[in-house]
Structure 1
């Protein structure tokens, strides 16, 4: 038989490549991690690692066990998280994370719906990147996150997700941009000007994140829109750019090579068991309701 602690130590050493690095990863002493692995080896009847200097080299048996052990650890974490969801207590506040790609109108819609249904609950809308949002959800300092798709949607942790749909993206320039002098600009013409790139798009690995030789990275979408209104251009979700277009600070640019719409996806992330909590389940339903009417 094995224990969960033994599996955690085994997987940590396998992934880190040494007992010292594994101990640091799981925040335990090196001696404790080594004892757990040795105890696991004794129960199995064969070694899992050979020591080569400071490195712990996995044996063929360790290679065969690794993925199964990692799966068992994850299932145990999900079971614990799901079980905790049954613990009922009065909800006084909820924290929802979002990144720069999320349309403000979606957040305003959720705020209005929650205020109407649960006026006693305080809502915190915090701008966070992907890793920060996942850490917050895992520590329960935040409950939900709406984030732009990345190369891999699944966070590979005990966090569930639901795809909400796609946002249309377009190239935007300021109202006085020379690129507006013709009905349609060529890609080569666009590349002559400074591109303002959202840090969010770079982190998401968007194919058009760095299209021009000269580009400036901006983390705040409001700052990015203000800069584009004065100089250069940028790729923005139409829903995000819409308020600036209405204020005549931005204008959509027609680019001849972009025949088909460019899209990026939005994903809702939440902890296992969130659907069992009334207020969180309500927000999740509202997100899906909005997505049906406003996202592709």
Structure 2
């Protein structure tokens, strides 16, 4: 009966298949060769099918053996993850970690940090969300995120602890076909010039910034919910707006975007804001969250502040 299958049998089957012999598999597992042979034979009996052809010098997987090998590996992996998760529960390790990141923050840094986290804590599941303006802080305070990445100084809260990561540079830009593009190449752009055209701005679903405008100079506004949507509308010539330089470096090289040297939006239309990693003061970070914080800080510290795009 299949109920009599054991993980030990499956582990020996996979070891023999990978090593190419019962002797090498036994050495790899630290078991007697006879024990390995006996265990695989019992597995074949339980399954009712031969897994190896033993008529040659070395055991060769049968058609059935090849078909069942990946399933066996999958079962062993799941069992190992189950053990790791159970050990983690006993040691205070999170089962799942929810991260909310500001859409202004470089995705490459987050990806590298989460890669390190997965290597260190493979049993921890991660849910990565992105949000604009007040959403990351709102998620922390609402208990729907364990750790957050924010950008800027305007959304502080005394209930949260913030630690600096890296500067994030924003540049005012417009699509190459927009009327402002030719004007920007000839002279500086004034606030009056900008007010005549549509400005593409982000909305804050959290409501934490309701009634507050960040760098909004035009009464003609199109509102979007992400940096990606904002970029696409600006590329299409709908209007102008500010975007993170890490996101638009390729657009400058390809000539799809033109910088707007508008003094009303920072020197030459450029501003630099610090990013922060944040968590609730009343909820100390557990092992995986603490590891992710350290990884983000280390990677951010090694990143060079982006040079001014479009002017190299």
Q: TM-score, normalised by structure 2?
A: 0.56
3-state DSSP of counterpart to 1:203: coil
State the shift of 1:256 in Å: 5.9
Q: Does 1:156 align with 2:165?
A: no
Q: Distance in 2 between matches of 1:166 and 1:266?
A: 6
> Cα–Cα, structure 1 residues 125 and 248, in superposed 2: closer, same or farther, change >3 Å?
farther
Q: How does 1:13-162 map to 2 (within 5 A)?
A: 88-128=91-131, 133-134=136-137, 136-138=139-141, 140-151=143-154, 153=156, 155-157=157-159, 159-162=160-163
Inter-CA distance 288–213: structure 2 relative to 1 (3 Å threshold): same
Name structure 1 gaps, 5 residues minimum: 1-86
- The 3 A distance-change label for structure 1 pair 279 and 243 is farther
| 1:240 matched to 2:243 | no
Deviations 1:182-241 (A, max 9, x none): 2444223333221111225x9398875211232222222111111111121101121233
- C-alpha distance in structure 2 between counterparts of 1:256 and 1:136, whole Å: 34
Q: Deviations over 1:34-76 (max 9, x none)?
A: xxxxxxxxxxxxxxxxxxxxxxxxxxxxxxxxxxxxxxxxxxx
Q: Deviations over 1:164-188 (max 9, x none)?
A: 2431111111122232222444223
What is the aligned partner in structure 2 of residue 285 from structure 1? 294
SS at match of 1:222: helix
Aligned to 2:209, the other structure's residue is in SS state helix
- Flag the 1:171–1:135 CA change in 2: closer, same or farther, 3 A: closer
Relative to 1, partners in 2 of residues 1:137 and 1:194: Cα closer, same or farther, differing over 3 Å? closer
Aligned-partner Cα distance in 2 for 1:256–1:150: 20
**Pairing partner for 1:192 from 178, 189, 196:** 196
> Paired residue for 1:253, among 253, 257, 260?
260
**TM (normalized to structure 1)?**
0.59
Instruction: Please say which of residues 187-196 and 228-237 is displaced more in the overlay.
Output: 187-196
Q: Check if 1:169 corresponds to 2:175.
A: no
Alpha-carbon distance in structure 2 between the residues aligned to 1:104 and 1:229: 20
Q: Any conservation in 2 of the 1:144–1:270 contact (CA below 8 Å)? A: yes
Q: Distance in 1 between matches of 2:272 and 2:212?
A: 10
* Change beyond 3 A, Cα 1:285–1:174: same
Aligned residues: 209
d(CA) in 2 for partners of 1:205 and 1:107? 31
What CA deviation, in whole Å up to 9, does each residue of 1:12-54 have, x standing for no partner?
Answer: xxxxxxxxxxxxxxxxxxxxxxxxxxxxxxxxxxxxxxxxxxx
